[in-house]
Structure 1
Amino acid sequence: MDMDLFSQFTSPILFGVPLWVIAMTYPVYCLPNTLQNTVKPRLTTALMWTLLQAMMQIMLKISATAQKWVVILTSTVTLLLLYNLFGTLPYVYPPTTQLSIAFGLAFPLWLGTLVKGVKLSVTNTLAHFLPPSTPAALVPVLVIIETTSMLVRPVALGMRLAANLTSGHMIMHAVSSVSLVLIQSASLSAALSLTLLGALTCLEMAIAGIQAYVFVLLTTLYLQENT
């Protein structure tokens, strides 16, 4: 039995090709093909309706300028949801647990909102670094604090996504390892551990959706602040 909890997040290599490439591209093929005039399955219809309602709630309170990002944000929440749910399968890790991938998603979106704000109004963007009615003695300190807070945003955005998924996956790995040992004894403990594993899997699927929603929601807040 593998006792290293972090080894599950190491991307294996097959014929010299890292399998994280397949893990990143395969969920895309799970998306429904809207170009074909066919009747969509009920599950696909339910998922698309849920995604539509979530995006309507996210985009409801932002400006008309920010709503132009609806395609980017909808694509992001869809891909994040697929990547996160893909990681709940046995012997599969979610690609978003890798900090390089999480930061690779967070940094361009954060930088895009910042560039958008500078493009629309440099004055309003710089005004966020200094709250109104600030005493002159506190101006240098507050500018440093606000600048640091601004630069930390992409790090916190990516770290939140990766840390929450990593912790849940580690717990599932530990419980599944214990269940594998207990199931050989066919005791009550094995049944309880399998029940716990099923409950954790359902919880992890819920967390996968919540983290995708929170990631896009925070990006929307950054966008709203700069527009």
Structure 2
Amino acid sequence: MARHRYYPKNQKLQEKIKKQFQELQEKMGILFDNEKLLTQAFTHSSYVNEHRKKPYEDNERLEFLGDAVLELTVSKFLFNKYPAMSEGELTKLRAAVVCEPSLVKFANELEFGNYVLLGKGEEMTGGRQRPALLADVFEAFIGALYLDQGLEVVEKLLAQTVFPKIDDGNFTYAMDFKSQLQELVQRDSQGLLQYQILQEKGPAHNREFISRVLLNGSELGTGIGRSKKEAEQKAAQVAITALTLLKEQ
């Protein structure tokens, strides 16, 4: 009689995760030298919280790096693509490309939501469709790809997924509030803007951030959002109103 092989639950889970990310790499035509970086890019903090005994690390640090890499690569593309554009116009266009709604579209087109490792609570509350989470995963993936393959491979990926959309005119020059505030301050030579996250509260699946924006060290406004980016945008919106009222006095 044939004997059945029984695997520990965690071993089965590890095999499932490994197969999942092998599938993603094959689909994208990118093979990671360090697959741990790829897994980390898709690991949400809620998953880490439920697997504390395992060596999982969430994607927040990679998101931080990916945000900077995206800004650099998109800036380089726009700088070379539009030599007649002013600094202000380039800033507006870049903001439209790297803003949260755009990052969510990129993530959805690559079906990144199917690969995110989530805790049960986040899964049950629709985390796979949450815009802030998807935008963060896209940035984290870019950060992981940069560490593993370098800037050239990142630019190659963006040339397939992002840059054609710029060429096709999918982005407008519409400014977000942070860009509007930056231009307002620069125009009047008022000084240096700085954003700070004052507080993070709530469980991973229902996180809330409080941000403030400072001008030369003095607070201009605060904002609350479901993501750091949203909180900063709302703080900038309050700051614009405050500066406008100040000018009218």
TM-score with structure 1 length normalisation?
0.33
Q: By percentage of residues, which structure has more strand?
A: 2
Q: By percentage of residues, which structure has more helix?
A: 1
Larger RCO (CA within 8 A; separation ≥ 6) = 1
Report the structure number with the largest CA radius of gyration.
Answer: 1
